Amino acid sequence: MRLIFKNLNVLRSTINAISTGVEIKEIVESAGNNLPNLFDFCSFGVFWKEDLLLFLYQEESCPPSFAQEVVKNMINVFSILGEEPIDAERITLQVDQGKLRAKQRMVSPKATLKSHLTLPLAVEGEILGCLSLSSDRPNAFDAQDLQFLSVIGYQMAASLKHFQRFSSVKNMATYDTLTGLYNRRYFEERLEVEAEKSFYSGAPISLVMVDIDHFKKVNDTFGHTDGDQVLCKISSLLKASVRKKDTVARYGGEEFILILPEARLEQSFVIAERIRQLVENTPFEVGRAQVNLTLSMGISNFPSHRVKSKEELIKMADQALYDAKRGGRNKVCIFTEKSSQWTVPT
Amino acid sequence: MSSDLVLDLYSDLLTELWEIVSALIGEAILAFLFTLAIRKLGEKHPFLLSLEVSEEGVSCEKMKEDCRAVAPAEIHRGFQGLINQLSHLFSALADGVINKELFPKVFSKVREAERIISQ
């Protein structure tokens, strides 16, 4: 009886730990840390279908061949449950090998998988993945183990579903659904942080506002579906042309905006000019036709321009973009206080 | 033997199976497994698609309405297939842990059903 109470207490704290996790790794880790107090196993695995991630917690002494068997078994069970074959090569395996218990359990180097309990992580009829306990001993698990694991699995599935919903809401709030670039809302947030950092430290920061020239013509001639494809292609070019620390966002219809932290004016001009030339020299497949497109861009910078707020930085980049448009398009313009000054492409 | 009688027999059997297995793996997973097994066998034994499965349990009430014209032997074959399919899933999940609990109580009844129908 005392043993049951002890187990129920461990079960309770395991569930509590799982339910407070907000990231998938955290949820799986909570389970991985608590389960050795409940079950006698040498490997615990969680497979997360959405990202094809497989987390494996196992005894330090488990041979690699054992881990391979566990992975194979989990994929096999999941394929039966999910009614679709899973390509093992596409799975990202995260193995955490260490001491699961204070008193280490020695696993033979020749150990093979002898018994397992594998349960689907199912919520509202949807299968999110599966979790599995594996042992090198035959008949290592009994009905009570299965009951406990199902309770843990139920809580994990609920927490993971919550995480999935949260991620999808977070994605919607962060990314532009068409282009996959950051959206305007995220851009505003990011600029707030980066601008504050620069204003405080004095480090430079540049904003580049980008607009596709005569994009309306593309939409009018080829239709919005093809127009959307052009937006996606240009988004990819923008993303590929900046540094890792830069932020590329869709600002509006055919307008994009780049935050270039720690970029001096000359540096940001080089980046913008490179992008302008790249787009100018890229033929775009639209329907059955091939079209050439150009970009107009406006740059503002701190500390080169006297700005005190992120709003001013945006306004100046917008003004410079306006100058580029007015100056004949296919140009990169830098904001100037009085008259606009634009550079002519070479 | 009438279709109703065979259905009643298997309805009791599934209720018993549900009680035993849901205590081991929970209602949500069991409902998922039932749905999976029915989907797998639905093409071969379409009458199984009338089986109502939810986290509350499994019910043959709608099936009784829908299957008046189905031969008792076909109902028997369909349910036998369903129980085998479930048993296969239980074994894939937990080696023999679930089936060990089920065998003494449920599988003996399956044999009994076979005997009654063959008479």
DSSP letter assigned to residue A179: T
- B20 inside 8 A of chain A by CB: no
Q: Does residue A220 register a pLDDT over 60?
A: yes
| Pick from A118, A127, A139: CB nearest B93 | A118
Please compute the mean of the pLDDT values over residues A93-99 and round it to a whole number.
83
Q: Is B42 exposed, middle or buried (0-12, 13-18, 19+ CB in 10 A)?
A: middle
Is there a contact between A188 and A256 (Cβ–Cβ < 8 Å)? no
Q: Is A177 exposed, middle or buried (0-12, 13-18, 19+ CB in 10 A)?
A: exposed
Q: Domain range holding B22? A: 3-118
Peptide bond just before A204 cis, omega within 30 deg: no
pLDDT at B109: 77
pLDDT at A122: 87
Radius of gyration of chain B, Cα coordinates, nearest whole angstrom: 13
Please compute the mean of the pLDDT values over residues A222-249 and round it to a whole number.
94
Percent of chain A that is helix, strand, coil (3-state, to 5): 45, 25, 30
| Pick from A80, A83, A122: CB nearest B29 | A122
| Pick from A83, A139, A150: CB nearest B25 | A150
CB neighbours of residue A295 within 10 Å: 27
pLDDT at A3: 60
User: Right CATH number for A2-170 from 3.30.450.40, 3.40.1190.20, 3.10.20.90, 3.40.470.10?
Assistant: 3.30.450.40
Enumerate the domain spans of chain A.
2-170, 184-342
Q: Does residue A309 register a pLDDT over 80?
A: yes
Please compute the mean of the pLDDT values over residues A53-68 and round it to a whole number.
90
B22: nearest CA partner in chain A: A147
Q: Which two tokens stand for residue A85?
A: 């074959």
A146 and B95 within 8 Å at the Cβ level: the answer is no
Q: Does residue A345 register a pLDDT over 50?
A: no
B26 and A150 within 8 Å at the Cβ level: the answer is yes
Q: How far is A52 from chain B (nearest CA, A)?
A: 20
Dist CA B11 CA A42 (whole Å):
40
Dist CA A131 CA A241 (whole Å):
41
pLDDT in tens, B1-10: 677 888 888 8
pLDDT at B1: 61
Q: How far is B12 from chain A (nearest CA, A)?
A: 23
Q: A66: which residues sit within 8 A by CB, 6+ positions away? A: A42, A43, A58, A107, A111, A112, A113, A134, A136
B29 and A119 within 8 Å at the Cβ level: the answer is yes
Residue B107: strand pairing partners = none
A80 and B89 within 8 Å at the Cβ level: the answer is yes
pLDDT at A249: 97
Q: Does residue A83 register a pLDDT over 80?
A: no
Residue A212: strand pairing partners = A295
A139 and B32 within 8 Å at the Cβ level: the answer is no
Q: Write out chain B residues lying below 8 Å of A150, CB-based.
A: 24-26, 29
pLDDT at A340: 46
pLDDT in tens, A110-119: 899 999 999 9
| Pick from A118, A122, A151: CB nearest B32 | A122
Q: How far is A20 from chain B (nearest CA, A)?
A: 22
A76: nearest CA partner in chain B: B92
CATH class of the A184-342 domain in this structure: alpha beta
- A11 inside 8 A of chain B by CB: no
Dist CA A299 CA B82 (whole Å):
68
* pLDDT confidence band for A40 (50 / 70 / 90): confident
Q: Does residue A339 register a pLDDT over 50?
A: no
Q: Does residue A1 register a pLDDT over 60?
A: no
Q: Does residue B107 register a pLDDT over 60?
A: yes
Q: Does residue A185 register a pLDDT over 70?
A: yes
Please compute the mean of the pLDDT values over residues A217-222 and round it to a whole number.
92
pLDDT in tens, A280-302: 999 998 878 899 999 999 999 99
Global pTM value: 0.67
Dist CA A280 CA A169 (whole Å):
36
pLDDT in tens, B57-89: 999 888 888 887 888 889 989 999 999 999 999
- The count of structural domains within chain B is 1
Please compute the mean of the pLDDT values over residues A268-288 and round it to a whole number.
93
| Pick from A115, A120, A145: CB nearest B29 | A120
The chain-wide mean pLDDT, for chain A, equals: 89
A80 and B92 within 8 Å at the Cβ level: the answer is yes
Q: Is A185 exposed, middle or buried (0-12, 13-18, 19+ CB in 10 A)?
A: middle
pLDDT at A316: 95
Please compute the mean of the pLDDT values over residues A7-21 and round it to a whole number.
76
* pLDDT confidence band for A4 (50 / 70 / 90): low
| Pick from A80, A115, A119: CB nearest B95 | A115
| Pick from B25, B35, B96: CB nearest A119 | B25
φ, ψ for residue A236, nearest 5 deg: -65, -40
Is there a contact between A125 and B31 (Cβ–Cβ < 8 Å)? yes
Please, what sign has the CA dihedral across residues A20, A22, A28, A30?
negative
Q: Does residue A211 register a pLDDT over 90?
A: yes
pLDDT in tens, B26-59: 999 999 999 999 999 999 999 999 999 999 999 9
Q: Write out chain A residues lying below 8 Å of B93, CB-based.
A: 77, 117-120
* pLDDT confidence band for A5 (50 / 70 / 90): low
- Interface A-B, measured as beta-carbon pairs within 8 A, has a size of 67
B29 and A150 within 8 Å at the Cβ level: the answer is yes
pLDDT at A18: 74
Q: How far is B24 from chain A (nearest CA, A)?
A: 5
